[in-house]
Amino acid sequence: MTPLEAIRTHRLVPLVEIRDASTAGELAATFVAAGLPILEVGLRTEVAIEALRNAAAHKGSLTLAAGTVTSPEQVKLAMDAGADLIVSPGLNSLVIEYCIKNDIPIVPGVCTPTEIETARNYGLRTLKFFPAEAYGGVRTLRALGDVYKGFGFVPTGGINLQNLNDYMKLPTVVACGGSWMAPADTIQARKFDVIAEAVRQSVSLVKAMRGAS
């Protein structure tokens, strides 16, 4: 299964901020055991690359993404550390062109029609919609979906268990991303049982929606 296929299959992309790289291995194992073998490690801390490397060493079937990637140099560091996929907060042409040149899967961030059309010019059809809630959330995505057929959006930013259903109902939404399953403080405190329960709840919600559709 390719990284983009994994996103569409599991429909959830948990974003984590890791402050202690030694937690990454057990965190990766926790997600896999709880039924969600996909994880996005945000490059927001000084130990993020080390955390990626530790997660990769324990990932098994896990699809490992590097998030908050803003430069080609970060792409190279992340891929060398074991990432399978690059996720960027914005539509950075340098990052996109580097990934395309090196055959690296990428999900770039967009929030406007112009950015969507630019992504289309690069041949990219799976796009992160960020920051989702701040840019109109479901209403904006519904309007964009009416115009841009054939795109799959991964809204991230302000999504949680309370509004997850609303996003998942949109036909253009292939997955939802966010940190609600594993907040940074919970990871830091090594409360992996709490994280596992949040993952199971989220996975169950997605499965219930599939059963109802």
Mean pLDDT of all residues in 67-93: 98
Per-residue model confidence as pLDDT tens digits over 36-47: 999 999 999 999
3-state secondary structure labels for all residues of the chain = CCHHHHHHHHCEEEEECCCCHHHHHHHHHHHHHCCCCEEEEECCCCCHHHHHHHHHHCCCCCEEEEECCCCHHHHHHHHHCCCCEEECCCCCHHHHHHHHHCCCCEECEECCHHHHHHHHHCCCCEEEECCCHHHCHHHHHHHHHHHCCCCEEEEECCCCCCCHHHHHCCCCECCEEECCCCCHHHHHCCCHHHHHHHHHHHHHHHHHHHHHC
Q: Which of 17, 59, 128, 133 is catalytic?
A: 128
Tell whether the model's pLDDT for residue 211 goes beyond 90: no
Question: Of the listed 17, 40, 59, 133, which one is catalytic?
Answer: 40
The pLDDT value given to residue 60: 83
**Predicted confidence (pLDDT) per residue in 83-124, tens digit:** 999 999 999 999 999 999 999 999 999 999 999 999 999 999
pLDDT tens-digit map of 136-145: 999 999 999 9
Give residue 102's identity as a one-letter amino acid code. Answer: N
Active site residue 115: no
What percent of the chain stands above pLDDT 70? 99
Question: Which tops the pLDDT comparison, 119 or 60?
Answer: 119
Q: What is the mean pLDDT of the chain?
A: 96
Ordered domains of the chain (ranges, CATH)? 3-212 (3.20.20.70)
149 labelled catalytic: no
Task: Report the C-alpha gap between 151 and 8 in whole angstroms.
Answer: 12
Q: Say whether pLDDT at 212 is over 70.
A: no
Residues 204 and 197 sit within 8 Å (Cβ to Cβ): no
pLDDT at 189: 98
Q: Is the pLDDT of residue 168 over 80?
A: yes
Please give the model's pTM, rounded to 2 decimal places: 0.96
